[in-house]
Amino acid sequence: TVTTTETTEAEADTTTDGAAVEETAEAADAAEETADTEAAVSEALADGMLTAGTNAEFPPFEYVGDDGEADGFDIALIKAIGEKLGVDVQVDNMEFASLVSSIGNKIDVAIAGMTITDERKEAVDFSEPYYEAVQYVLLPEGSEIATAEDLKNKTIGCQLGTTGMFLAEDIEGATAQTYNRAVDAVNDLVNGRVDAVIIDKNPAEVFNTKFEGKVKIIDGADFGFEAEEYALSLIHISE
Ligand code: GLN
């Protein structure tokens, strides 16, 4: 609908304004892109099944429930989307670092508290964002780390392939120690093998509760970390 409106408006002043011609072309491109996306979506759903990849190590967005099945906010969200589309949803639990490359072959979409980044945009398309987050710093209870300066030259635990890892890698002199499961990074924090863990706000809060008395959390904004937006990632259509 939006595309149609734009086209009409642009056409209205084509006679006087050269820029409007460009606008019309842009609107046509956008319409084509929408059509391509729709075609890809219906192809992916032709079998009546939406296969969603996740990494169920990221509470409260996804975790393995008592019944051994993936559960959490993202799982509820993708099931609601499946219901709306009239297809069954199958959830594939895999390593976070494998999600992006699995889209379009093993899975139709990834839903995993995944932050929109320019790098990932080269490989996948993102939906509209559905949640705003920020990285948090998880520390041993008695730690004196409090500023960005204090993180320099430290050993920082993080989950492989996450934005937390990208931040840790950018800290001067720091060593990013990577784990497939965030909880293993937190265990190593408690055991004194890493000095800090960088992880998204909500999982940080869950781990802070789970390891109460042993750890503490600090909002990454205090370290200069910027807000992040979560979205579903889908097969890359546009140029
Ligand atoms: N939001 C982070 C990212 O996209 C972490 C996601 C996760 O570990 N599931 O990299």
- pLDDT reading at 16 higher than 60: no
Please give the Cα distance from 89 to 10 (Å, whole number): 40
| Ligand 1 atom having least distance to the Cα of 55 | 9
| Ligand 1 atom having least distance to the Cα of 165 | 10
| Ligand 1 atom having least distance to the Cα of 166 | 10
Q: For residue 34, report the distance from its CA to the centre of ligand 1, in Å.
A: 27
Burial class, 170, CB count within 10 angstroms (exposed 0-12 / middle 13-18 / buried 19+):
exposed
Distances (CA, A) of 37 to 51, 54, 234, 237: 17, 22, 10, 6
* DSSP string computed for 105-116: TTBSEE-SSPBP
From 75, 118, 162, give the residue whose CB has the most ligand 1 atoms within 8 Å, as the site to mutate. 162
Residue 224's closest CA among 92, 135, 164, 124?
135
Q: For residue 221, report the distance from its CA to the centre of ligand 1, in Å.
A: 17
Q: What is the pLDDT of residue 23?
A: 74
Tokens of 117: 């980044």
- pLDDT per residue as tens digits for the range 207-231: 999 999 999 999 999 999 999 999 9
Residue type, 129: P
CA atoms within 13 Å, Cβ hemisphere of 137: 28
As for ligand 1, residues whose beta carbon falls within 6 Å of it are: 55, 58, 96, 112-115, 159, 162-163, 200
Q: What is the pLDDT of residue 230?
A: 98
- pLDDT per residue as tens digits for the range 59-91: 999 999 999 999 999 999 999 999 999 999 999
- pLDDT per residue as tens digits for the range 101-147: 999 999 999 999 999 999 999 999 999 999 999 999 999 999 999 99
C-alpha dihedral sign at 82, 233, 115, 30: negative
Strand partners, 156: 176, 196
Looking at the whole model, is its pTM more than 0.75? yes
- pLDDT reading at 37 higher than 90: no
Q: For residue 178, report the distance from its CA to the centre of ligand 1, in Å.
A: 13
CB within 8 Å of 78: residues ≥ 6 apart: 50, 52, 54, 89, 91, 109, 111, 232
Say which residue the tokens 């990454």 belong to.
220
| Ligand 1 atom having least distance to the Cα of 182 | 8
Minimal-distance CA residue to ligand 1 atom 7? 113
Residue 111 contacts residue 102 (beta carbons within 8 Å): no
| Axis-axis angle for helices 182-190, 201-210 (nearest 10) | 50
Residue 105 contacts residue 48 (beta carbons within 8 Å): no
